[in-house]
Amino acid sequence: GGAVEEVANLTQSLRRHAGRPLLFASDLERGAGQQFKGLAKLPPQMAMAACPRAVELVREAGRATARDAKRAGINLVFAPLSDVNTEPKNPIINVRSFSDDPAVVSRLSVEWIKGAQETGVLACAKHFPGHGATIEDSHVHLARGADNPEIQREFHLPPFEAACRAGVGSVMTAHIT
């Protein structure tokens, strides 16, 4: 958190004193303004996916987030969510997901990744192997993911496979069983 200028000064100072390249990461799935004052906030992924020109919008969201992240000295963004929201009672993924359709989530995750990474910031597909089937908030409880291997392969893994094929910079694991 903090104002973008303060964060930028801190990351620049740490880089100067480190004597080696550093990786600064932040959770910016709703734009860099989610964490830093003075930067743009974006709507949840599901709202962007509902727009008529979602592909272009999501790619630009990746670019915009990356541009703002670079202003703060951040070079790894913990986004996009590549979870398929298959459980309507899911308290933690919900509208943070692009969709309940694995093809839509795969396509839009790749667009977000390309937008961010072509702007010079690493993206992170999260939450592998898929957090969209849980009914618990994994920040509070140990949540249980999809336990049917066929459902897992059909719904939850395709977006992560697509992200890896697109060259995503990193993948975040879910803290679920």
Give per-residue pLDDT as tens, 24-49: 999 999 999 999 999 999 999 999 99
Q: What is the pTM of this model?
A: 0.96
Compute the distance between CA of residue 123 and CA of residue 165 in angstroms, rounded to an integer: 13
For the record, the structure tokens of 121 come out as: 């910031």
96-106 per-position pLDDT tens digit: 999 999 999 99
Q: Mean pLDDT, to the nearest integer, of 136-147?
A: 88
- Cβ contacts of 141 within 8 Å, gap of 6 or more: none
Task: Name the one residue in this structure whose structure tokens are 């992240």.
Answer: 69
* Helix H or strand E encompassing 151: helix 149-151
pLDDT above 90: residue 146: no
Q: Is the confidence at residue 177, as pLDDT, over 90?
A: no
Confidence of residue 52 (pLDDT cuts 50, 70, 90): very high
In this prediction, residue 72 carries a pLDDT of 98
Mean pLDDT, range 42-62, rounded to an integer: 98
H-helix or E-strand spanning residue 26: strand 25-26
- For the chain, what percentages of helix, strand and coil (3-state, to nearest 5) are there? 45, 10, 45
